[in-house]
Structure 1
Amino acid sequence: MPDDSKLVDGEQLKGLIENDEFRATCSSFSGAPRPQLEWYIDKLKLDSKTEEETDRVYSHLTVKSLPRHWSGRKLICQASNTNLTTPIRKEVELKMLTYPSFTEITGPVSELSAGHNYTLQCSSYGSEPAADLIWYINNKKVDPDSTIIKIGNNSTSQLTILPTSGSDGWNVSCSSFNPKLPMDRVDTSYTMNVNYPPILKLKIGGSLNPSKIRQGNDVYFECFSMAKPPAYKIEWYHGKNRLEENVKDGILITPTTLVIQKMTKEQGGSYHCRASNVEGDTISNRIHINVRYPPECLTSSLSTVSMAPNKTVRCRVDSNPEPTRFFWSFNSSKGEEIAFEYDKIDLDLGLIPGPGELSCVAQNRIGNQEIPCAWQVKETGIPEPPDDCNITNQSIPILNINCKPGWDGGLAQTFHLELWETNPSRIIRNLSNLHQPQFKITRLKPGQSLIIIIYASNSKGRSRYVEMESRTTKVAELAEQIDSGPEGSAGLDWIQVPLGAVLGNNFKYIYTLNLNQ
């Protein structure tokens, strides 16, 4: 029988490290005949050789690289010398530090959308003890959502990310390592594939200064778009209005450019582009175009003013920038021409020597006004009658009558309305208005035959009349010869006849109003 070996039966052999070289010796002393020694891992016999010395037999076991699957298994040395005796076995349990065998990142890692939260999970398997895990984004360590969960030799950790357009292509990695062997790590990583809505930058072309665009200049815009996936649509806007290509009007559009040829002052203002992809819509920065143009008169018709001291007339123009100079001139009714050395926006009418035509030309840094502002200068006199009278409320028993004031004769004027009943002939209203030729007539009775007379007055006298009257026989005969009156006069019969055709030169308009319907 061989003597007991030096192995301590049933103990754990600790401190072993996966892949390290391992050596063990099994010795047996005495025994006749001398025993043979054999090595086993559990029931698997290992290659070995028994050596003899004077007082013992022994066997060396050398493993160049400890395999990880030996961890937790029993290493056995068995001594036997004859079939007549039971072999002696000594065993120890191998306790080994192992590295992580596999590490992976799971989660929605195929395509990400910017601005949305995603949770990734890193899992590590096979480390003894269970591995520690560290997250990195672009090689910079980041903290996980919570502590690492370790069960057996498996570890898991979660990381929530909020990708942006700038994080497309970033590297997310997870490093796993045995906490007792921190220098040897198993890493895994993936590249973030982030989709994002368009990122836009609007620029004005060339060396143009958007605050100094002259009317008639060509203006070029370019919309730079960065998007994933690429934008499928780019639109152009002037203020809130979407622009369409119009070659005739000089608006040229490509997917990324906008050209406005011979820009007008009406085309000044804010411009931006808008792009869309499956991730959303984006509006670019806005560029404000300040169109500069020479002065233009705000009134296109010839106005009438009266000669009066301490009264002024203003040269009202639209311009950008504001006018810096004004040139006044006067052509008298006798053909005399006077240029005033007067560089102000307002002209004192006391400087005018008599009736004629007054004009003004304004100047700014862009140029001179092409068409002058003009006024017909008259001496003070009686006012012109109100003009363009109409009834805006045709319901009975109320009438709203609105007119436009005529020339005031150079003096303060008052507007008057007389309402006459024809049968019997009597005045039933007498109204005046110091400000506007606007009147409201109430408490009318159905079936009344009425005459409405409107005129203006000042200290020089009364204007001609504007009359609206009921249908008389004489006017009815004329009505058969002319067309119906203004559109929208349902419930009212309107007839307009030539000035002076019925009532002579003292009246400007005649309207027929039937309140019987």
Structure 2
Amino acid sequence: MERGGDHMVRLKCQILYGIECFSPDQKAANFCSDVKLIISIATLYIKVTESRNEIVKIKEQSGKRVELTCRKPFQSRIVWDQKNHGGGVIALFGILRRDKWKYDIIVEDTRETLIILAAVVEDSDTYECLIGAETKQFFVEIYVEPWDTKISTPRGTLVEESFLNISCTAQSSRPAANITWTLTTTNGTILELDENGSQTKAHDNKTLTRTSTIKIFASRELYSAKIECRIRVNQVNYDVTRTKYLIFNLKPTLPYITSNGNIVKESSTVTLVCHADDSRPPARLQWFRNGYSLLGKIKMIQNDNSTYNVENEINFIASSFDDGAIYMCRINNEVLQDPIKISKKLAVQYKPITVTKQRVVAVEEGNELLLQYDYKTNPNTPYCKRQTMKYAGLLNSTIELVCRVNSFSNSPTTFNWSSISGDFTGMTYQSDRTHSYHKINYTVEEYGKVSCSASNGIGRMKEDCVFEILPPGPAEAPIDCQITKPINGRVSIECVESFTGGYKTTYSLFTKSSTDWSRTKENNSPYFALNSLKSGQKYLIKICALNIKYKTESDCTEEFEITVPSENIATTTATSKKITTSSTENSKYIIIGAILGGALFIVIVSLIVFICMKKNAKTAAAEENANNYFTPPVQPRAPTDDGPNPRSQRYIPPPTEPQPNEIQEREIV
């Protein structure tokens, strides 16, 4: 700088050697000395940009000591400056100008070091070392680990089959944390998950908050699975994993009902248990019978994974009224939108219940009496009736097969036929509530067995009806013969045709007298009725079968023995059940009936005798009173020597014959 006039002053501004003034007189020199200090301070902010030739990057962890060193020529002076964030000159010519608690400076002959004692993230800045015309820049970046990390799930109740947004946050770190996700299932499988979104927020203190989010469908398979987010800041060797277990509310798995047996008999104890497993919170179970609420016994078990198994048990004694009853279990919890309802229809086996109507019927001795009654019985699966199981037919011919079953059910009965070979055509079906039959035309392609199965609303029959197809041949004796109990000298015999041989068959009934057999009756079916059997007699019978093709080959049953009781006990009970005469149980019932009948007869006779005696006594008393009423009075007389006076005694009339009306009344009694 130059100044004109009498005082010529030339100022040379030098950073390296300070400020020197050159003037020809003393007055100008004093002026130069006055401004020397001002000029020296002003020159601190002069930046020689064309001379910046060194840049240093320093990265350090928060809380560490940071040293910035500049080399200097001999007796040179250094200015330390912070470029940004409202810094300014830190040290001048080896002397700290500010924040002495934060900085320190070491001055040596060949170098000078500025020390940041405990660096914090706010110290991240550009620092300059000014040495004359040279500048050395230090880019200082302070790294800091996250102030807080956490993994979180949405607020409120988490439920099955919903989407869950799970977030992981690393708060106030520098630089921003790196976050990755993994999922470990309950069986140990590890899966890497992709984040659904990420967000980074900058703070005034130069730190960053990083939030990563994933979206997961809460399926039952992921219940109790482990979610992990790994948070890393490599610059500060920070590596932390946060864990969250997926716990959410679950609806129960498929509920079911168990019982103490598939077959329920009358008067037996029935136990029904409704199960609802693996629910959270515990399921609520309620029993209903035909729509009416029942009180059950609740049992609850908590599993290791915080789910619950719940049972509701009911016990009752089965009766015929329970047959067909519907027991329903209703299951509910907070996850289910609508309750689950499962039911069991009870099938109870019970004795037939007869429903009769009283009706007076006049019956003459010796005539047959037919009693009809309604009955109620329990449903059951079909089973084969007593029927012919063998059929004859030539190859390539068509024969008729009939499958008869007992089917106690309100639902229709369906049939299914099967064979090794052959065709089924011309099916005919008939059914009622108790009996069904299915008739088909079968073309014989080879001999063997044909099966018939039937089903109803209760289920399928346990054993099929198996028919055997044979070549034509001699007839076989009937089978499964049943003989009714002898009543009034009458016996019925009913058998099932075994094998007709494919031709018309005649059945003959033979009876044995002494040693010879004689044909008594003959019929086209194995059914016979024997009348006029003598009391106390035993009869030996047999039934033989003979068809018109093989007339010389007769086949007979074994011998049957029929014993007619000595005294036939009259009974008014009719039954359609066929029984054999050799049954000891029937004999027992006959003896008991005879004893009871005899006791009843004695009681009736005794009662009649007692009534008659009492009536006779009343009649005698009445006659005596009548005689006394009609006897005339007698005057007393003095006794004489001839003896007592006949008039002094009471007059007793001679006995008279009873009147006809009295005799008739006694006969009635």
TM-score by length of 2: 0.38
Going by fraction, where is strand more abundant, 1 or 2? Answer: 1
Whichever of the two has the greater Rg, that structure is 2
Bigger relative contact order, structure 1 or 2, given CA contacts below 8 A and separation 6+?
1
Q: Return the structure number with greater helix share.
A: 2
Q: TM-score, normalised by structure 1?
A: 0.47
